[in-house]
Amino acid sequence: MKVLKVIHGYPMRYNAGSEVYSQMLCHALAEEHEVRVFTREEDPFAMDFAMRTERDELDARVLKYLVNVPRSKDRYRHVAVDQRFAEVLDVYQPHVVHVGHLNHLSTSLLTEAAAREIPIVYTLHDYWVMCPRGQFMQFFAEDPTELWAACDGQEHQKCAERCYARYFSGSPNERAQDVEMWSDWVARRMAHMREMVEHVDLFIAPSKYLYKRYRDEFGLSERKLEYLDYGFDLERLKGRVRVPDEPFTFGYIGTHIPAKGINHLIEAFGEVNASAQLRIWGRPRGQNTAALKAQAAALGGGAAERIEWLSEYRNEEIVEQVFNKVDAIVVPSVWVENSPLVIHEAIQAGVPVITADVGGMAEHIEHEVNGLLFRHRDPASLAAQMQRLALEPALAEQLGAHGFLHSESGDIPSMNTHVRDIEAIYKNVLELRDKAHLEKLDGPWRITFDTNPDTCNMRCIMCEEHSQLSDKQTQRRKAGKPRRIMSIDLIRQVLEDSRGTALREIIPSTMGEPLLYEHFDQILDMCEEFDVQLNLTTNGTFPKKGARAWAERIVPVTSDVKISWNGATKETQEKIMVGSNWERVLENVRTFIAVRDAHAAAGGNFCRVTFQLTFIEENLHELADIIKLAASLGVNRVKGHHLWVHFDGMEEQSMRRSPEAIRRWNEAVLNARKAAQTHKLPDGQTILLENIYLLDEEATTDIAPGGKCPFLGQEAWISAMGRFNPCCAPDEKRKSLGSFGNLYGRSITDIWNSDDYNRLVRSYRTRELCLGCNMRKPAEES
Alpha carbons 16 and 14: distance in angstroms, whole number: 6
Strand-pair category, 34-41 with 59-68: parallel
> Do residues 328 and 354 lie in contact, with contact meaning Cβ atoms separated by under 8 Å?
yes
Alpha carbons 10 and 298: distance in angstroms, whole number: 35
> For the chain, which residues score pLDDT lower than 50?
none
Rounded to 5 degrees, what are φ and ψ at 329? Answer: -105, 135
Tell me the residue length of the chain: 782
> Do residues 712 and 760 lie in contact, with contact meaning Cβ atoms separated by under 8 Å?
yes
Task: Specify the fold of 235-402.
Answer: Rossmann fold (3.40.50)
Alpha carbons 317 and 217: distance in angstroms, whole number: 38
Cβ neighbours around 264 below 10 Å, total? 23
C-alpha distance from residue 384 to each of 201, 377, 396 (Å) = 45, 13, 14
pLDDT of amino acid 488: 97
> Do residues 578 and 461 lie in contact, with contact meaning Cβ atoms separated by under 8 Å?
yes
Stretch (H or E) spanning 340:
none
Q: Delimit the domains of the chain by residue range.
A: 2-227, 235-402, 539-700
3-class DSSP assignment, residue 525: helix
Cβ neighbours around 155 below 10 Å, total? 15
> Do residues 448 and 728 lie in contact, with contact meaning Cβ atoms separated by under 8 Å?
yes
| Radius of gyration, alpha carbons of the chain | 32
Stretch (H or E) spanning 380:
helix 379-391
Does the bond joining 137 to the residue before it have cis omega, within 30 degrees of 0?
no
Name which of 73, 74, 57, 56 is nearest 65 in CA terms. 56
Quickly list DSSP for 255-309. --SGGGTHHHHHHHHTT--SS-EEEEE----HHHHHHHHHHHHT-STTTGGGEEE
Alpha carbons 521 and 518: distance in angstroms, whole number: 8
CATH-assigned architecture of domain 2-227? 3-Layer(aba) Sandwich (3.40)
Q: What pTM did the predictor assign?
A: 0.91
Q: How many CA atoms lie within 13 A of 63 on its CB side?
A: 12
Instruction: Please list, in sequence order, all residues whose beta carbon lies within 8 angstroms of the beta carbon of residue 705, skipping any fewer than 6 positions away.
Output: 432, 696, 778
Rounded to 5 degrees, what are φ and ψ at 178? Answer: -65, -45
Quickly list DSSP for 751-781. HHTSHHHHHHHHHGGG-HHHHT-TT---GGG
> Do residues 209 and 360 lie in contact, with contact meaning Cβ atoms separated by under 8 Å?
yes
Strand-pair category, 51-56 with 225-227: unpaired
3-class DSSP assignment, residue 64: strand
> Do residues 546 and 523 lie in contact, with contact meaning Cβ atoms separated by under 8 Å?
no
> Do residues 430 and 96 lie in contact, with contact meaning Cβ atoms separated by under 8 Å?
yes
> Do residues 572 and 618 lie in contact, with contact meaning Cβ atoms separated by under 8 Å?
yes
Q: Do domains 2-227 and 235-402 have the same CATH topology?
A: yes
> Do residues 447 and 748 lie in contact, with contact meaning Cβ atoms separated by under 8 Å?
yes
Alpha carbons 336 and 148: distance in angstroms, whole number: 12
Buried residues in 600-609 as b, exposed as e (16+ CB within 10 A): eeeeeeebeb
